[in-house]
Amino acid sequence: MAQDKENPLARWSRLKREAAAGTAAPEPKRAPAEAARPGETAPAAETPMPVLPPLEALNPDSDFSPFMDKRVDERLRRLALKKLFSDPSLNIVDGLDDFAEDFNLLEDLPQEMVAKLEHVRDVLRGPDPEPEPEAEPEQDAQAQGTPPDEAQIRQEKDDEGNDGEDQHDVARRQDT
């Protein structure tokens, strides 16, 4: 009776020392009233293996608890659960699954909404700077340091009104 009121840590220490010394005393058996406490199950060796109904006969109203016993094979348990959750009443997507939809197929925003969003962006950040107008192709070529092609040179000559004469040709004639 003294051991029943013993501190759990002291009991553990005593049992550890006895086991090391090889003089372990057997555990005192609990009274039948203590063995049948609520919430405790009897050891598996004392209860018979549950009777399992055939998988083909299972439906959502069947009792699946015998398949949850630890002694039932894992594959058989999984097959029973697969049968249970294949019922449409248990596998309906409830709409709360965040990643269940395909968000690649979104509809375009209406133009009114796009206009409102652009307006809010302009108000909060200021308008975007105006893009610079594109330069003419000959100015681009000169700015990039690439030589202009012959068509551009002919066009420049025609625009200057030299009747196709180059400024260098005019300068050479004046020197002679």
Encode pLDDT of 99-157 as tens digits. Answer: 777 778 788 889 999 999 999 998 998 767 776 777 665 555 555 566 667 767 767 76
66 lies in some domain? yes
pLDDT more than 70, % of the chain: 60
Nearest to 82 by CA among 60, 104, 51, 107: 60
Number of domains present in the structure of the chain = 1
68 lies in some domain? yes
| Band of pLDDT at residue 78, cut at 50, 70 and 90 | very high
Q: How far apart are CA 68 and CA 72, in angstroms?
A: 7
Question: Mean pLDDT of all residues in the chain?
Answer: 75
pLDDT at 176 (0 to 100): 57
Burial call 74-113: b when 16+ CB within 10 Å, e when fewer: eeebeebeebbeeeeeeeeeeeeeeeeeeeeeeeeeeeee
pLDDT more than 90, % of the chain: 13
Q: How far apart are CA 84 and CA 89, in angstroms?
A: 10
- The residue-averaged pLDDT of 157-173 equals 59
pLDDT at 27 (0 to 100): 61
Domain, as residue range, for 77: 55-85
Four-residue CA torsion sign, 92, 94, 100, 104: positive
Q: Residue 58: how many CB atoms within 10 A of its CB?
A: 19
Give 55 or 151, the one with higher predicted confidence: 55
Q: Where are the alpha helices (DSSP H) in the chain?
A: 8-21, 32-35, 74-85, 111-125, 137-144, 150-160, 167-175
C-alpha torsion angle, residues 146, 150, 151, 153 (rounded to 10):
80
Give 83 or 170, the one with higher predicted confidence: 83
- The residue-averaged pLDDT of 8-12 equals 90
78 lies in some domain? yes
| Band of pLDDT at residue 91, cut at 50, 70 and 90 | confident
Nearest to 136 by CA among 158, 156, 166: 156
Please say whether the beta carbons of 71 and 44 come within 8 A. Answer: yes
61 lies in some domain? yes
71 lies in some domain? yes
pLDDT at 59 (0 to 100): 86
81 lies in some domain? yes
38 lies in some domain? no
67 lies in some domain? yes
pLDDT at 106 (0 to 100): 80
- The residue-averaged pLDDT of 49-70 equals 88
